[in-house]
Amino acid sequence: MKWMKWMVLASFAALIVGGCTPGKTYERRLKRELASGIRYDSLFMGLSFGMTQKEFYEHCWDMNKDSIIKQGSANMSVQYDLNEELEHPATMNFYPKFDSGKIVEMPVRFIYNGWAPWTKELSASNLALDVKNWYEDIYGKGFITVTHPMNGDAYTKIDGNRRITIYVENDLYVWARFTDMLAGLEKDSLSANQN
């Protein structure tokens, strides 16, 4: 009889713990935020989800004339120099993905300017944490650790329709990806980290 009580108690405890795993936390948060009906379209620097290609180019043209941004690598992105936002000077390059002529996703690539293989303080893993801390100041706390399908550990935050995911690409680069989860652009492919 004691054995049966322990089995019931152990099963009940497993259900409670299983319902509180990071994977469940992410899934619950995603469902809750999407069901809220609240839209968070603001990205950064006056850019937003739903902005047309024409609006994006005109806005970037104006920022370029004001020397806020410049053409990025191979003229395929927009470059913004981060001199005081992070722990070390860095460069941010971005260019949106459009669907039906409107911004639905904004991939942003970061690199510390002084990176070298022997400068551990300028590693991509430190940069990812630095970007997360900076984004917490801008977008608020609430990033959780998840597993990116190709890049391992990542940080993600969901507010209404806007998901921000920060992950390390390699020793050099970090990506922050802003996704409008209501645009149907991608299947939700993140899973919570079990660490």
Return the pLDDT at 146: 87
CA 161 to centroid of chain Cα atoms: 13
Q: Is the pLDDT of residue 22 over 70?
A: no
- Map tokens 């149907």 to a residue: 184
Return the pLDDT at 190: 52
User: Which tokens sit at 186?
Assistant: 């991608």
CA angle 18, 23, 24 (to 5 degrees): 60
Q: Is the pLDDT of residue 4 over 60?
A: no
- Map tokens 């104006």 to a residue: 62
125: containing domain: 2-192
4 SS3 class? helix
Q: What is the pLDDT of residues 136-186, one digit of tens each?
A: 999 999 999 987 777 778 999 999 999 999 999 999 999 999 999 998 744
Q: How many domains does the chain have?
A: 1
Q: What is the pLDDT of residues 90-132, one digit of tens each?
A: 999 999 999 999 999 999 999 999 999 999 999 999 999 999 9
